[in-house]
Amino acid sequence: MFQLIRKLIILTATLPFAALLSAQEPVRPVSTAWMAEVGSSHLADTYLSPIRYSGMHYGLTYSRLQAMKSPLLPCVQGWDLGLSFDKTRNRAGNATILGARLEGSWRMMRRWHLAKGFQAGVGGYAGAEFGALYLSRNSNNPAQAIGAVCVGPEAFVQWTGKLKKLPLAVRWQLSSPLAGAFFCPNYGELYYEIQLGNRSDLVHFAWPGSRRSVRSLLSVDLNFGRSTLRLGYSFNALSSKANNVTSRRISHAAVVGIVCDLVTLNPRKSDANILPAYY
């Protein structure tokens, strides 16, 4: 009890100084984006079929990015969460592979202001994805699970300026995993056998030789006052090979989204020093 009272006294005594310190820190708005994408999808997974499938790709992504507090290096950090769905057909048009994935990643990048309006960032990310592919007409191999965790470099370049009087930001961001782990059943192994308890050789070390991937987003943010419209083009490519099973997922998609900077401000502080993530 005595210790609790002492802690309360110390906290009360230091509160004004803490408030003073926070008043000197810049406000760091969270750049938040809700994006939807629609495009083409190309899938192949030799566990299900040796034939490539093509069709539609749909996705929803929620993304956050915020400048970090670090006074030494100007860095940004954020995370995103995405849900995607693919519906593809074989060349003959008589079979369908459905795919669904949930993925999330966290990233941190050092950024540089290169020239007036230009900036770039380089850093890394850690991500995970889970999902499945489903080919209904197959007998004992109708589905393939997707599961991976990875880390890798990420970079962006951005130009911020105006088109006539319209503020805009053109950005290209790119990421590629370098290491991690991913799931792949053995060449002829059925999920029935995994269910019986044979779980050896299912998780593989991911490196560019076994699992390589590129995620790219070229976007234009058009600022209409209080809201920002994002238009873009997304390209994702992934290829993996383990246990003589080759998987491939490629998508090209048009992106449309809404971006806004979220700030938590004390209305009594009029001299807030704002440090945005992007602009």
Partner 1 sequence: MRTSCLHIISLLLPLAVALSACHPIEEFPADNSGNFEALWTAVDEHYCFFAEKDVDWNRIRNQYAPLITADLSKQQLFGVCADMINELRDGHTNLSSGFQTSYYRKWWSDYPQNYDARLIEENYLNFEYSQLGNVTYGILPQNIGYIAIPSFNSGLGNGNIDWILSSMASANALIIDLRDNGGGSMSYAETWVRHFIRQPLTAGYIQHKTGPAHDAFDSPRPITFEPLSADNIIWIKPVAILTNRSTFSAANYMTMCMRSIPGVIHVGATTGGGAGMPITLELPNGWSIRMSAVRVYDSQMHITEHGIEPTAGCAVDLDPAQALQGHDSILDLAITKLSK
Residues that bind partner 1 (CB under 8 A): 44, 46, 49-52, 90-95, 112, 114-115, 120, 122, 137-141, 153, 155, 157, 174, 176, 186-190, 192-193, 196-198, 208, 212-214, 216, 237, 239-241, 243-244, 246, 248, 250
Query: What single DSSP character describes residue 200?
Result: T
Classified as helix, coil or strand, 143 is strand
- How near is the Cβ of 19 to partner 1 at its closest, in Å? 35
- Compute φ and ψ for 199, nearest 5 degrees: -115, 25
In the bound state with partner 1, the residue whose beta carbon lies nearer, of 37 and 53, is: 53
In the bound state with partner 1, the residue whose beta carbon lies nearer, of 12 and 139, is: 139
- Provide the CA 166 distance to its chain's centre, in angstroms: 28
In the bound state with partner 1, the residue whose beta carbon lies nearer, of 76 and 261, is: 76
CA distances in angstroms from 137 to 131, 134, 190, 243, listed in the order given = 19, 9, 15, 23
- How near is the Cβ of 237 to partner 1 at its closest, in Å? 5
In the bound state with partner 1, the residue whose beta carbon lies nearer, of 31 and 158, is: 158
- How near is the Cβ of 49 to partner 1 at its closest, in Å? 5
- How near is the Cβ of 50 to partner 1 at its closest, in Å? 6
- How near is the Cβ of 72 to partner 1 at its closest, in Å? 13
The residues near 113 (Cβ < 8 Å, ≥ 6 apart) are 119
- How near is the Cβ of 241 to partner 1 at its closest, in Å? 4
In the bound state with partner 1, the residue whose beta carbon lies nearer, of 210 and 223, is: 210
Q: How far is it between the farthest Cα atoms of the chain?
A: 79
In the bound state with partner 1, the residue whose beta carbon lies nearer, of 228 and 240, is: 240
CA distances in angstroms from 237 to 123, 172, 193, 213, 233, listed in the order given = 20, 16, 30, 5, 13
Length of the chain in terms of residues written: 279
Pick left, alpha or beta for residue 117 (phi over 0 → left; psi -120 to 50 → alpha; otherwise beta). left
